[in-house]
């Protein structure tokens, strides 16, 4: 019938006279009672059946999965899927996490998009030096769609009408540019030598 605590709740040890952490073998030693509650009498019957048909074998630990099933083998993936907080993917996830991206570039862009970079830079507006870098990198590729507006850039990175290579270039160049600008600003903030232009 499963784990008594799951079946009967925390009060099962009082109702049944079985300790909350008792093994199956220990449950066989308890004195059978007559209960007014039907489920408790069914549990008593199951304990009696298992006592009569018992075999000499060791107790084993079973792992409870997200579907309420008990398994002999532990699954890291299954446990992670069960305990993690699931949320919908944000619309710009594919602009950060894509095949052949550089993990540290993706991470810094993700931090920038969340507004959590240590330099305190806001990424919504590419200004001054950052805008000039973006222009040198992307004006020829984007042509008449060139923009420094953050929302428009995100839209360009998700434009499925573009060829895969062009989409990859746009995504990768944005990640690389944000990473390099962040690294340079961080370096200057901590009074390290500036990177030569």
Q: Where are the domains of the chain?
A: 4-83, 93-189
Count of helix runs (H) and strand runs (E) in the chain: 10, 2
Distance CA 12, CA 6 (A): 9
If one counts every other C-beta atom within 10 angstroms of the C-beta of residue 44, the result is 16
In 182-194, which positions are buried (b, 16+ CB within 10 angstroms) versus exposed (e)? Answer: bebbeeeeeeeee
pLDDT in tens, the chain (197 residues): 777 777 777 766 677 777 777 777 777 777 777 877 788 888 888 888 877 777 666 777 888 777 778 888 888 888 888 888 888 878 788 888 899 999 999 999 999 888 887 655 554 444 687 888 889 999 988 989 999 888 888 888 888 888 899 899 999 999 999 999 888 888 887 776 666 65
Q: What is the pLDDT of residue 195?
A: 61
Is 0.75 topped by the overall pTM? Answer: no
Q: What is the pLDDT of residue 51?
A: 77
Q: What is the pLDDT of residue 117?
A: 78
Give 98-149 pLDDT, tens digit per residue. 999 999 999 999 998 888 876 555 544 446 878 888 899 999 889 899 998 8
Residue 24, token pair as written in the block: 């199956």
Ramachandran angles phi, psi of 19, nearest 5°: -60, 150
Work out the burial of residue 134: count CB atoms within 10 Å of its CB; fewer than 13 is exposed, 13-18 middle, 19 or more buried. Answer: buried
Q: What is the pLDDT of residue 125?
A: 46
Q: What is the pLDDT of residue 188?
A: 80
Q: For residue 158, give Cα distances in angstroms to 19, 83, 96, 168.
A: 59, 31, 11, 10
Cβ atoms of 45 and 33 within 8 Å: the answer is no
Distance CA 66, CA 75 (A): 11
């Amino acid at each position: 019938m499963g784990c008594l605590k799951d079946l009967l709740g925390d009060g099962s040890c009082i109702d049944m006279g079985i300790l909350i952490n008792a093994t199956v073998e220990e449950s066989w030693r308890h004195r059978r009672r007559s209960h007014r509650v039907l489920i408790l009498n069914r549990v008593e019957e199951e304990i009696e059946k298992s006592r009569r048909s018992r075999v000499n074998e060791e107790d084993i630990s079973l792992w409870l999965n997200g579907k309420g099933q008990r398994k002999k083998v532990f699954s890291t993936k299954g446990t992670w899927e069960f305990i993690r907080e699931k949320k919908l993917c944000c619309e710009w996830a594919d602009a950060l996490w894509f095949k052949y991206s550089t993990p540290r570039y993706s991470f810094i862009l993700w931090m920038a998009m969340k507004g959590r970079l240590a330099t305190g830079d806001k990424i919504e507006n590419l200004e001054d030096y950052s805008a000039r870098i973006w222009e040198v990198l992307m004006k020829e590729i984007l042509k008449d769609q060139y923009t420094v507006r953050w929302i428009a850039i995100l839209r360009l990175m998700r434009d499925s009408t573009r060829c895969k290579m062009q989409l990859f270039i746009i995504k990768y160049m944005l990640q690389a540019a944000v990473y390099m600008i962040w690294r340079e600003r961080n370096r200057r903030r901590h009074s390290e030598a500036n990177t030569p232009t």
